[in-house]
Structure 1
Amino acid sequence: MTKSLLLRKAHRYLGLFIGIQFLGWTISGLYFSWNNIDNVHGDHLRKPARYLAGGVEVVPPSAAIRNLAATQAVDSLHSVQLISLLGKPVYQLQYFSGHVGEGMHLHVHHALADATTGALLPALNEAQAVAVARENLVAGAKVASVQYLASTDPKHEYREKPLPAWAVSFSEPACTAYVSAELGTLQAVRHDQWRAFDFLWMFHTMDYATKDNFNNVLLKIFSLAGLVTVVSGFALFIVSSRTLKRITRWG
């Protein structure tokens, strides 16, 4: 078998093997480049953020921290933030409870406290979650359904975000707002444009389990196969080009 024929066969079968994935990469790349990422994130469905008045009167965060430590095993604090929850000043407390190994913390825990008294607040109920979602979305939003999420699978559109959460679905605009029950804030807005982006992102990363892992073995294999295909194409051109053969002969 000649060198040219061997390269031609290798190029053909490699192209057939990775062609569908290359098509997926191209289509997804086109979708990404032709869509505004802010719209994909649902920013156009959100109202401008509301802030507390500069003269708001609050107790020191230490009051809330003391109340938290009296009821929970607080190993260390992650953060304390003053937020507006349905127009009222509230401390958002994030903390660690317990260790794993040498100083490695367990997951972050969350709590809310009234910033005017320091008293701890319960996690948001359904009515409060709907109110938070309405407060953050464009005017006239119509609620279609509400679901409480204690857990999600790796492919869920609300993944790697604080749980538990309330999924508040709207019929107009057609979207789902995810509100953290323990943080009291809107965490994400999902709609059809984002879902199409997420589906194509899965093809782009070739991570069909969690969608976000760029270091998976399948992607590495196809990337190398793509490189070999391109190199074999250049090599095939070189060995089969009549012009190059003439130049070589004359040289």
Structure 2
Amino acid sequence: MAKSKHYYIRKTHRWLGVILGIQFMMWAIGGLYFSWSNMGEVHGDFQKKNAPLLSSDISLVSPTVVLDTIKKVHSIDSVVSIQLIEILGKPFYQVRCISAIHNESNHEHDIQAMNHLANAETGKLRGSLTKEEAVEVAKMRFNGEPKVKSVEYLTGTNGHHEYRESPLPAYAITFEHPSKTTVYVASELGTVQKFRNNKWRIFDFLWMMHTMDYESRDHIGNWLLRAFSIFGLVTVLSGFALFFVSAKWGKKGLRNR
């Protein structure tokens, strides 16, 4: 006995529903969390203090003095940025530059990014932040007076790390706080880069499930997401077809044909 179209449509719809059901549920859960979350709390805005301001009475050397000092130590091909920042109450120039290094093995030039900190009042270069300095910088930017739980020095991260694609090396300072907040301070830049708390971590996990990017989490044009989107559309269309062939007027139309 030949199987009816109704049977094949129902069976296709059922298996598509099983395959896609879990992902649809994760999309729904993620959408609920995204829409009902306070993004200020996710980003930890309520925990951040404004960066301290510098006095207008300070006497600054020209950034050219700093560049000349750097050139005595490293060759510079391009300047990315020069920014006046505050580190523990003192003004510093944060200099980001690029140097092209000749590679003798393939006769090409490798691009190397470099970061320098220089005292903005004297022009004297200084090294990266120490562990103690990074902790003090994090404390000054964290609202309240929580105790430091742990300090980790990062020289590399993977695609799933909460500090991914951010300046390295960096210190990860975790505080004893209900939100389990970690403040990331880039040691070569001398500034706070990220606040990460439990609400952000939940958001980040659900975002990964939402985008289906299980490598870097942020690539929404991956083929897995595209495939599931197509399968989802097929599932919806097969549901409409199943409704049509199951309805009395639909069955009558098929019999007449």
Both structures adopt the same fold (TM-score exceeding 0.5)? yes
Deviations 1:73-113 (A, max 9, x none): 21211111111111111111111121799x99735321111
Please state whether the residue corresponding to 2:72 is helix, strand or coil: helix
CA RMSD of aligned residues (A): 2.3
The residue number in structure 2 matching 1:74 is: 76
Aligned pair 1:137/2:131, yes or no?
Answer: no
Q: 1:114 is matched with which residue: 99, 111, 119? A: 119
Task: Give, as a single letter, the amino acid of the residue that structure 2 aligns with 1:146.
Answer: V
More deviation in 30-39 or 1-10?
1-10
More deviation in 48-57 or 4-13?
48-57
The residue number in structure 1 matching 2:8 is: 6
Aligned length in residues: 249
The residue number in structure 1 matching 2:223 is: 217
- Normalising by structure 2, we get a TM-score of 0.89
> 2:101 touches 2:112 (CA, 8 Å); kept in 1?
no
Deviations 1:12-52 (A, max 9, x none): 11111111111111111111111111211111111123222
The residue number in structure 2 matching 1:205 is: 211
Paired with 1:228 and 1:73, the residues of 2 have a C-alpha distance of 59
> 1:78-89, aligned counterparts within 5 Å?
78-89=80-91
Going from structure 1 to structure 2, the CA distance change for 1:59 and 1:193 (only over 3 Å counts) comes to same
> 1:78 touches 1:108 (CA, 8 Å); kept in 2?
no
- Normalising by structure 1, we get a TM-score of 0.91
Shift of 1:248: 9.8
Q: 1:43 is matched with which residue: 42, 45, 49? A: 45
Going from structure 1 to structure 2, the CA distance change for 1:192 and 1:106 (only over 3 Å counts) comes to same
Task: Give, as a single letter, the amino acid of the residue that structure 1 aligns with 2:134.
Answer: A
Going from structure 1 to structure 2, the CA distance change for 1:214 and 1:106 (only over 3 Å counts) comes to farther
Please state whether the residue corresponding to 1:71 is helix, strand or coil: coil
> 1:1-251, aligned counterparts within 5 Å?
1-98=3-100, 106=111, 108-172=113-177, 174-243=180-249
> 2:100 touches 2:112 (CA, 8 Å); kept in 1?
no
Paired with 2:30 and 2:177, the residues of 1 have a C-alpha distance of 27
> 2:91 touches 2:119 (CA, 8 Å); kept in 1?
yes
Paired with 1:203 and 1:47, the residues of 2 have a C-alpha distance of 32
